[in-house]
């Protein structure tokens, strides 16, 4: 009974969430688009002409935002949808899961740790490096804090390793993580790789959630 009540409460909160309503109205696949929008606006992260990689991209809302932003739309999440305008730059969306294509976005399905996926990305990039890597990836959580934080740290480390190989020296990485017993170690791992490290908590992240984001700029 408690689980059913929890599910009902989550569904009620979800359906009445203003970001969910905006995403439905503006054609975005998930409310998560607004998290990246806030981070981008606060940190001036994304510009037309960049090359950006979206790790763990499914269902595609971050790539939708990137597509709109890099088309030079003043308000990417308003009128015309994410596919309006001419894309200036390149976006690569990687995920294990299949998801609906996004206009002008190169979607690579597979594990980005696998050689075949990396070689395909390398061929697409034509030897160039990446300006920004974004990751909204999260592992399946068990509810056991110690085990979950180890999984979260592992996902962050994967993103860090990817960024170290593919980013330009002045490039940036944004990853999702969660506050918990291992959070300080994740921040330290960022500081070992980047000159500038900053935690960011968008308003679009639910207040009850331990979710936060870490931004790293400039590889060491």
* Annotated binding residues for S-adenosyl-L-methionine: 60, 62, 95, 111, 136
Active site residue 5: no
Sequence ranges of the binding site: 60, 62, 95, 111, 136
Identified catalytic residue from 35, 37, 73, 176: 176
- SS3 labels along the chain: CHHHHHHHHHHHHHHCCHHHHHHHHHCCCCCCHHHHHHHHHHHCCCCCCCEEEEECCCCCHHHHHHHHHCCCCCCCCCCCCCCCCCCCCEEEEEECCCCCCCCCCEEEECCCCCHHHHHHHHHHHCCCCEEEEEECCCCCCCCCHHHHHHHHHHHHHHHHHHHHHHEEEEEEEEEEEECCCCHHHHHHHHHHHEEEEEEECCCCCCCCCCEEEEEEEEEC
Name the residues annotated as catalytic: 176
């Amino acid at each position: 009974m408690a689980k059913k009540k929890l599910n009902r409460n989550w569904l009620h909160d979800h359906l009445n969430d203003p970001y969910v309503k905006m995403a439905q109205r503006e054609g975005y696949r998930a409310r998560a688009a607004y998290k990246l929008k806030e981070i981008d606006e606060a940190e001036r992260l994304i510009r037309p002409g960049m090359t950006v990689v979206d790790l763990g991209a499914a269902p595609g809302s971050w790539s939708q935002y990137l597509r709109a932003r890099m088309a030079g739309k003043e308000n990417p999440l308003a009128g015309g949808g994410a596919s309006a305008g001419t894309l200036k730059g390149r976006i690569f969306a990687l995920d294990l899961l299949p998801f609906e294509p996004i206009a002008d976005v190169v979607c690579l399905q597979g594990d980005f740790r696998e050689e075949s996926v990396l070689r395909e990305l390398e061929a697409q990039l034509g030897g160039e490096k990446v300006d920004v890597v974004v990751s909204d990836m999260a592992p399946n959580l068990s509810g056991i804090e110690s085990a979950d934080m180890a999984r979260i740290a592992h996902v962050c480390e994967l993103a860090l390793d990817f960024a170290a190989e593919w980013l330009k020296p002045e490039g940036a990485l944004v990853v999702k993580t969660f506050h918990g017993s291992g959070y300080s170690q994740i921040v330290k791992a960022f500081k070992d790789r980047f000159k500038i490290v900053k935690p960011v908590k968008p308003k679009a992240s639910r207040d009850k959630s331990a979710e936060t984001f870490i931004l790293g700029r400039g590889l060491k």
